[in-house]
Chains A and B, each alone.
Chain A
Amino acid sequence: MESNVNTYKDLTPARPLDRATLNKMVLRSLFLQGSFNYERMQAAGWLYGILPGLEKIHTNKEDLSASMEHNLEFFNTHPFLVTFVMGIVLSLEQQKADIPTIRAVRVAAMGPLGGIGDAIFWFTLVPIAAGITANMAISGNIAAPILFLIIFNVVQFIVRYWLMYWSYDLGTTAIELLTKNAKEFTHSASMLGVFVVGALTNNYGATTTKIVFQSGEVFTEVQGIIDGVLPQLIPLVLTLILYFLIKKKGWSTIKCIMLLLVIGIVGAAFGIWGGDYTPLIQWYPTI
């Protein structure tokens, strides 16, 4: 969850990763979402993907453990573009950059890729490939599914391999610039990371309320009022409460998850949270 160390014990850069290891990690990147979950999303799958590289880079147990711990923090990016983040993070790990620097680069890179990937794959490639082949299938052409799989996967694998090699080289060439002013770089990269987390809180925020007030003939939706004050206020408040509980009260993440399960289910019993369900107790008017 959290690393207690900020620098690796062994600061000698490791040997550059060989092609076989990089290729292995491209294949492992296919299982990025293997243990997808609501709390840290792709974190454990991400770590699974880069483990062959990390094991080659960190030959002593303490460094490997420090690296595995910080690579288990919240992670979410587009599954087809993840090798870009892998390449750059592995190049930093290989050069034994500071852990805050690696973390900042990882967070800054993962966020924007999500939007780009959705635009390329889900909104462009799949509709085109499926649009062409679905009508072939309906008219009974057995080539339709095969054609669909070929189009989709050729694009997918070219993107995955190319991004891995390109970003690994990019990270390796950028490293000199970076280590010269390491402290300044880490500060600015952390700023970018925090900026992205702020944006994620808004963009990924998925909690709404469906409470409605009635005065005479007029129905007022509470969510409408909240949106008028500050859009995504509920996700922001919940995030800040959790931050407070973790930072000031020393809560573990598992305790936070239990709290949210209770809030979620009790709230749904009273119809507080938005969603397509029937509350146990309907205490406010329905429109």
Chain B
Amino acid sequence: MIGPIQIVLILIVTFIAAIDQFNFLESLYQPIVMGPVVGAILGDVKTGLAVGGAYQLMSIGSMPVGGAQPPNVVVGGIMATVFAVVSGLDVNAALGAAIPFALLGQYGVTLTFTFMSGLMAKADAEAAAANPKGIEKLNYFAMILLGSLFAVATLIGVLSISNPAVSEFIGSLQGNWIMGGLSAAGGMMRYVGFAVLMRIMLADDMWGIYFAGFALAAILGSAGLGGPALVLVAFVGIAIAIYDYNMNVKIKNMGGTGGASDGI
């Protein structure tokens, strides 16, 4: 069994890795690192290495690209190692047993990102008051929140290791419509950010440009160029912007001489 000191150490590691998955070195959290670290805490580095390496190979295809949240690699990697060392499961069985807890980690991410959307109004107030400390605290708070939720997810995993009912219950949450709705809403919230930018930047004569950008990205996306689409969009956008700039500068200079000759 796992001793209390080992549990505390695993929770600390989880806390750090949870923050690291989006911040700091953005590499400590990878299973190839977490596996041997958790293995060392539990006294079996070799098994940790094996699980971490296998999970790493498995997760190469599921990078956190474009905001989508696959079952969470941090909790998944840590729990898989715990299962392999403590329950003596072989590597593949350990990876499978860890999946419900990886799901729990994914929920923690969704909840944090939703909750922090609501706190942006507080950030606005701190900015209006020119209070850098307030912005700093907000960031530290968000990271502590995410780390704590992950530590709780891992704690549930570690404590229920000999109680399959818990992991069955968590597994049954998969496909829950409330979490489905929350993540659908999460996917929509970025449109608020876009709308605010448009409200500020979009002069009435620019609607055509907005739809042109939308259309170009759609064309590139349907051509299978989803990844580099925004780079190609920038090429076209910069060409349009330079043309607009040169035209307006020319008009201004012409207007300038015209005004001077009028004066004579």
Interface residues of A (CB under 8 A from B): 1-3, 30-41, 43-45, 47-48, 51, 54-55, 61-62, 64-65, 68-69, 71-74, 76, 79-80, 100, 103-104, 107-108, 111-112, 114-116, 118-119, 122-123, 126-127, 130-131, 133-138, 140-142, 144-145, 148-149, 152-153, 156, 181, 183-185, 187-204, 206-207, 230-232, 235-236, 238-239, 242-243, 245-247, 252-254, 256-257, 260-261, 263-269, 271, 273-280
Contacts and interface: CB of A to CB of B under 8 A. Distances in A.
Given A1-B124, A79-B26, A112 B233 contact: yes
A200 B230 CA distance: 8
Interface stretch (B4-12, B92-100, B152-160, B234-242): B234-242
B201 A103 contact: yes
A272 to B, nearest CB: 8
A38 B117 contact: yes
Given A188-B244, A199-B213, A202-B218, A138 B49 contact: yes
> Which of A33, A112, A116, A195 lies at the interface centre, i.e. has the most chain B CB atoms within 10 A of its CB?
A195
A107 B23 contact: no
Nearest to A148: B32
B119 A35 contact: yes
Interface in B62-81: 63-68
A200 B218 CA distance: 10
Nearest to A230: B218
B209 A268 contact: no
Contacts of A130: 30, 32, 56-57, 60
Nearest to B123: A44
Contact of B184 (A43, A254, A267): A267
A194 B181 contact: no
Contacts of B65: 118, 122
Nearest to A203: B217
A198 to B, nearest CB: 3
Given A153-B25, A207-B188, A264-B182, A242 B195 contact: yes
B65 to A, nearest CB: 5
Contacts of B175: 276-278
A93 to B, nearest CB: 14
